[in-house]
Amino acid sequence: MATRNIIEQLQSLGFRASEEALLALLQEGLRRKWSPIVTCERLTKLEKSERTQRNLVRRTKAATLGRFKTLDAFDWNHPKRLDRALYENLLELDFVESGHNILFRGPSGVGKTTLAQNLGLKALQMGQTVHFVTLAGALADLLKQESAPALERRLRRYVSPDLLIVDEIGYLPADTRAADILYNIISRRHESRSVIITTNLPFKSWGKIFPGAACVAALIDRFVQHCHVIDVEGDSYRLKDAEKHRKKSKRRR
């Protein structure tokens, strides 16, 4: 009964560890005859671990990284061009601490998004906040805001994370207002918070994404000032997989 009362008191103080975990720890302490100091140390360690795990779950949900292959399943031999040494150096996340940006550039299906998502995963594991979104998804979200205050509140989703990943710039055209919104995000994050962009287009072609937008040059200028560029060249993984499945199906027949 005394142990149950202690657990209730700990929970009333804000302990988030489960009742089962607290009970197991206290029972182990009684069995091993821990001193009060050791018991407090173990309780603190248990609670810190629980809060760290809950924090990771919360940040992972907010990151919206989606499903993707982790690096242990990534085929480094498939791309014809990919600076693996630079990428592995970026996994140290110094670029996030410095507020630098990353551009993954290459044709569709070569792994740009996967590489970006894995950097996002590493940032989450290191305690940072991350948000992943396609350009089309971000613009659809922001352009539907019906007032300037609503838009300003919504922009925090894209301005505040330690790392913002904007996927698929160049696949769909956008209007001038969309360009202004993206410029607003890049400008507010400039030299303070990192942005990763994946694209199939060189910078000189970005004007085609936002035809008539006057801010494109300024947008690029701010993004590239502190930017690591990784060009990925090769055939599409998806086409390769489709051909593999086609051959397997043909052999079965």
pTM of the model: 0.86
Q: Please tell me the distance from the alpha carbon of residue 229 to that of residue 9, in angstroms, as a whole number.
A: 54
Overall fold of domain 71-239? Rossmann fold (3.40.50)
Q: pLDDT digits over 25-35, tens only? A: 999 999 999 99
241 pLDDT band (50/70/90 cuts)? low
Could you tell me if 105 and 231 are in contact, meaning their C-beta atoms sit under 8 angstroms apart? Answer: yes
Q: Phi/psi at 131 (nearest 5 deg)?
A: -140, 125
The whole-number pLDDT of residue 250 equals 59
